[in-house]
Amino acid sequence: MAYYAALDVGSNSVRLMVGEVREAKVYPVRTALRSTRLLAGAVNGWLQEEAVIRTAAAVAELAAVAREWQPAAIICIATSAAREARNLDFLRSTVKRRAGLELTVIDGETEARLAYEGALAGFEDAGKNPLVIDIGGGSTELSWMDGGRLQLFSVRVGAVRATETAMTREMIAAALAPVLLRARGVSRDRIIGTGGTITTAAAMELGLEPYLPERVHGTFLTTARVKDWRSRLEAMPLSQRRLLPGLQPERADIIVAGLLILEIILEGLGAEGVVASEADLLWGLILNYATKDGGKDGKGCSRLPI
């Protein structure tokens, strides 16, 4: 039995999953998340020193957790905030010094593909042609099959970015419009959604306290309920949002923007709703690594086979 550990250094949080792969399925044994807000305060691509330091500390903490499982490899990737960072070397060197890991920055298309593969792996029946949405802190990825080819798109709108830059509905809609136009005409039987915005919305809908991933996974959220939650939360003071069951207090300030992004996508696609998925990019990352027999040295992800 071989375990693999995957770390995702995102714009809003650092996430860990340790899992085993059997018959093209991931079986998680340990998950963890630390909210670090790497994108907070970034100006013209320059990450703030404080954000980098707390992110690297979280990577080090979660890497230590991962090593308790003696994984065959610890795969450490970074997404939107790192992709745009003008001081990426500072982030990489700090993560290397604090956690002993090499940080690999993946592009938007790779992020979309891993989210797609991970989401589909999490369902016994994912549908004949699902469309996958992954709403992150700095970007949103959409992926689907069309004409036998996987279509992969990454858009620079995310819950943290939209909150920090005060993006309006019109601005978000304009950014997403070209992708939604292409996706609208594609025949699909299901929309699957990954990322903290969507799983949090499902947890709020279920009134979960504490959070139970096995109940969140597979929950169907109608477009009408997404709109209702966005409107309700937008009208609430932040202090009141932080008390809601299912909504992590550290996500309370960005949840409205995240739900607005989701609402615009669902309306733009003319969709009835979205199925929340706990299986996501981390699943896709571990699947890719394990099935391609990478990283036996366990030293990080300098040879990431994606």
Tokens 């799983």, residue located: 199
- Residue 4 identity: Y
* CATH code for residues 123-278: 3.30.420.150
For the chain, the structural domain boundaries read 3-107+282-291, 123-278
Taking only the tens place, the pLDDT of each residue in 225-281 is: 999 999 999 999 999 999 999 999 999 999 999 999 999 999 999 999 999 999 999
Does 300 score more than 60 pLDDT?
A: no
Tokens 């409107």, residue located: 231
**Structure-token pair, residue 2:** 């071989």
- Going by the DSSP 8-state scheme, the letter that residue 153 receives in this structure is E
Q: Which residues pair with 190 in a beta bridge?
A: 130
User: Quick check: do 3-107+282-291 and 123-278 share a fold?
Assistant: yes
pTM: 0.94
Does 61 score more than 90 pLDDT?
A: yes
In the predicted model, what is the mean pLDDT of the chain? 94
CB 248 within 8 A of CB 13: no
**Structure-token pair, residue 232:** 């309700």
Taking only the tens place, the pLDDT of each residue in 165-218 is: 999 999 999 999 999 999 998 888 899 999 999 999 999 999 999 999 999 999
Does 303 score more than 70 pLDDT?
A: no
Rg (CA), the chain: 18
Tokens 């691509």, residue located: 45
Q: Specify burial of residue 240 (Cβ count, 10 A radius: 0-12, 13-18, 19+).
A: exposed
* CATH code for residues 3-107+282-291: 3.30.420.40
